[in-house]
Amino acid sequence: MEAEKEEKERESRRKTVPALFFTFLKIGAFTFGGGYAMIPLIQKEIVEKKKWIADKDLLDVVAIAESTPGPIAINSATFVGYQVAGFWGAFFATLGVALPSFVIILLISCILRQFESIQIVKYAFNGIRAGVLALIIRAMTSMYRQCPKGLFSYVVMFAVFLLVAFLKVNVLLVLIGCCLAGIAASLLAERRAKA
């Protein structure tokens, strides 16, 4: 009964699919840097203007986007789209958020190579590379801040750093290892808490 009602509600929401597409198209076109930069825009467009989801549910969006694989922007778009209008909502929200990037980068890829041979551009990129390094370091510190602190975390951080930076171990294997280690550590902690 409950499921039937839910399905009916979704049916009525199918009308919102085109609006979802255009809203996420707008979000995709105006989010620079991707990921978390998108959350305030989602809040403004989806929560405040369209009222498709409640403010408190936005926290769920962020939490889900963080704890599933894939880019935050794509995860959030798919999740919001699904919540609002089911599968096709998810499909068109995701398409909308990715389309501006896709088109803009396609255009850029046609001209970037030609720019690269200009001397002044070469000089600029020599400086820009140093700036990008600074940006990556900032990204690292903000990820560090979000990370749970403790001996286990520090050991994982350091081990991953050594394995990937110097021993050139396959990143996928390292990530699978960390995931299993995290599960093992938390199960162990659980058992210890019970005993």
Among candidate residues 3, 86, 72, 66, the one with its CA nearest the CA of residue 41: 72
For 181, residues 6+ apart whose C-beta sits below 8 A from its C-beta are 156
Q: Residue 147, CB half-sphere, CA atoms under 13 Å: how many?
A: 16
Closest approach of another protein to the CB of residue 118, in Å: 11
Q: Tokens standing for 53?
A: 């989801």
Q: Helices 55-67 & 72-116, crossing angle to 10 degrees? A: 60
Q: First CA to last CA across the chain, in angstroms?
A: 43
Judged by CB under 8 A, which of 7, 8, 44, 158 binds another protein?
158
Question: Is residue 88 a contact point for another protein (CB under 8 A)?
Answer: no
> How many residues lie near another protein (CB under 8 A)?
100
Q: Distances in Å between the alpha carbon of 103 and those of 22, 76, 95, 100, 138?
A: 15, 20, 12, 5, 28
- Tokens 């190579």 correspond to 113
Instruction: Looking at residues 16 to 75 of the shown chain, list those that interact with another protein (rule: CB under 8 A).
Output: 28-36, 38, 60, 63-75
Site membership for another protein, residue 131 (CB under 8 A): yes
Does position 120 interact with another protein (CB under 8 A)? The reply is: yes
Q: Rounded CA gap, 37 and 123, in Å?
A: 29
Contact region for another protein (CB under 8 A) — 14-22, 48-56, 155-163? 155-163
> Binding to another protein by residue 126, rule CB under 8 A?
yes
- Under the binding rule (CB under 8 A), the answer on residue 96 touching another protein is no
Two tokens, residue 194: 């019970």
User: Using CB under 8 A, which of the segments 7-15, 16-24, 48-56, 144-152 binds another protein?
Assistant: 144-152
Using the rule CB under 8 A, which residue among 3, 106, 193, 195 binds another protein? 106
Minimum CB separation from another protein for residue 73, in Å?
4
Our finding on whether 146 is near another protein (CB under 8 A) is yes
Closest CB to another protein among residues 49, 122 = 122
How far CA 185 is from CA of 16, 42, 57, 181, 194, in Å, comes to: 44, 35, 30, 6, 14
Q: Smallest distance from the beta carbon of 22 to another protein, in angstroms?
A: 15
Which residue in 4, 119, 194, 195 binds another protein (CB under 8 A)?
119
